Structure 1
Amino acid sequence: MPRYATILFDNQGGIARLTLNRPDRLNSFTVAMHEEVADALGRLDGARVLVLTGAGRGFCAGQDLADRAVAPGEAVDLGESVEQRYNPLIRRLTTLPLPVIARVNGVAAGAGANVALACDIVIAARSAKFIQSFANIGLIPDSGGTWVLPRLVGQARALGLALTAEPLPAERAAEWGLIWKAVDDESLDAEVDALARRFAAAPTRGLAAIKRMIRDSWGHSLDEELDLQRDAMRALGYSDDYREGVAAFMEKRTPRFTGR
């Protein structure tokens, strides 16, 4: 396993854990961090769930503006940064064939908020906040923000969050349906670890299919989705995990899923 400078990574027992590790900068992204995250996401062999979090008191404050070293008044091609780094990260997280849990331990701002929202399950400490801070510097919510926000909370709330850049407390984010759950700070690790262990022992192919189909359904008609459901059920019906699940149910025992 490589020795990373900006992240921590561990992959064992079916659970991969990736921690953004620049706590002195609220885990804001640099080019080096993007490269290390991309490398770690290529080392998920054997993992059946990924937990993404941040070190210290924050999840991620988005882009480290100092890393761009742009002089006041100087033009910069932000589209290049988005195209080469943030877009590939969002596409990777949303298409990984396993559940991705965001453990939001503190502030998630700018691209950091939208990286968290790209994960499949977001569990946040009650003290955490989500901030679409782009408007404060004349930008738009990138990293999927303008796409995911109205789909999760509706246009009115999406516009409010994006235009005002006001912090959204984790508890309200859960009430609005932006995230899965807000928990007491001292319960965060227990909640995330229990869910990670559950997914690591679950029928991985089925979970991956659920993730793919729900995420892709935005672009399908009901008629198209019914056909895709038929095809998915056919494929999953031949899986080892389905046979094991049925056998365990009939035999009144705990299933031993292998992810195959």
Structure 2
Amino acid sequence: MTDQAPADAQPADAQPLVVTTDDAGITTIRFNRPETLNALSKEVALGLLDALRTAQTDGSRAIVLTGGDRAFSSGADLQAKRDSAQTGSILTEINQIMVLLRDSAVPTIAAVSGAAAGVGCSLALACDYVIMNEKSFLMLAFTKIGLMPDGGASALVAASAGRHRAMRMALTAERVYGERAFEWGLASELVSEQTPLERAAEVAASFAAGPPLSLAATRRAVNAETLGTLQNVLDRETVGQGMLLSSEDYVEGTTAFREKRAATFTGR
């Protein structure tokens, strides 16, 4: 197994994103910010984008995206969201990641343990194959802090679960745990005897041993039909999110979140 981090990088346990590729060509990308439940910072978004791009040309035969036991990813961290109100950088990078996941020539697998919330939910659903267990959950928590879904969530959830279930998740911010996620079509498999990552390794090995041209053509065909308008969705979300990030409701929502109290929204 090879580690793609540069020689002078931090030890793997200290890196916010750990990328490895084994001899079978399986690239595993692991979020490693447990103190934030693997929230996406600008550094992580840039690292993920680079890792996904590299996997398109380095001989990788499958990509596994995963986090830790407590969280796959809790979404973009609040500081990254605040910075986006000024620069738009994190949303730009996230949108590039989503398009790359859709268009990847290499099959992608999400091994979801714990929370996949906000853009973490988008990242999981943008993968070709989603593996969950009964304790893992998907959540669109945006309205809790006065925002709207981004990272393509408004298309990704609807493409898998349908309009009304997408509306339910987006408007209520409820947690959709593994069993229900599987029933709704948001997960490819629900595992109980293995961890999601263990099962993902098996699926990745199957993809890695499969016909790469055939797999690439198959995923392109399915994604063209179901996610062909993803770029338009991302553009629309970016405009809407930009307006909401400058609203008083967003300030109140994030303040209430930090203070662990119910928010009082005014529509301003």
Q: TM-score of the superposition, structure 2-length normalised?
A: 0.75
- Paired residue for 2:144, among 136, 143, 160? 136
Consecutive unaligned residues in structure 1, runs of 5 or more:
221-260
Q: How does 1:2-151 map to 2 (within 5 A)?
A: 2=6, 3=9, 5-12=15-22, 13-44=24-55, 45-68=58-81, 76-77=85-86, 79-82=88-91, 84-151=92-159
Q: What CA distance in whole angstroms lies between the structure 2 residues aligned with 1:158 and 1:135?
A: 13
Matching of residues 220-231 of structure 1 within 5 Å = none
Q: Does 1:194 align with 2:202?
A: yes
State the distance in 2 between where 1:176 and 1:120 align: 16
Distance in structure 2 (CA, Å) of the matches to 1:9 and 1:51: 10
The residue type paired with residue 51 of structure 1 is V
C-alpha distance 219-54 of structure 1, shift in aligned 2 (>3 A) = closer
8 Å contact kept, 2:66–2:197: no
Number of aligned residues: 215
Distance across 1 between alignment mates of 2:160 and 2:18: 30
Please tell me whether the aligned partners of residues 125 and 185 of structure 1 are also in contact (alpha carbons under 8 angstroms). Answer: no
Identify the residue that residue 223 of structure 2 maps to in structure 1.
Answer: 215
Structure 1 residue aligned with 2:176: 168
The letter for the 2-side match of 1:23 is P
Partner Cα separation in structure 2 for residue 111 and residue 80 of structure 1: 15
Per-residue CA distance 1:21-72 (angstroms, 9 max, x = gap): 10111110001111111222232211100000013421000011134567xx
Amino acid of the residue matched to residue 129 of structure 1? F
Over the aligned positions, Cα root-mean-square deviation in angstroms equals 2.0
Unaligned 5+ runs, structure 2: 229-268
CA distance in 1, matches of 2:212, 2:173: 37
Larger radius of gyration: 1
AA at the equivalent of 1:155: R
Q: Give, in whole Å, the separation in 2 of the partners of 1:204 and 1:98.
A: 8
Name the SS for the 1:55 alignment partner: coil
Helix, strand or coil at the partner of 1:42: helix
Preserved CA contact (<8 Å) 2:31 2:68: yes
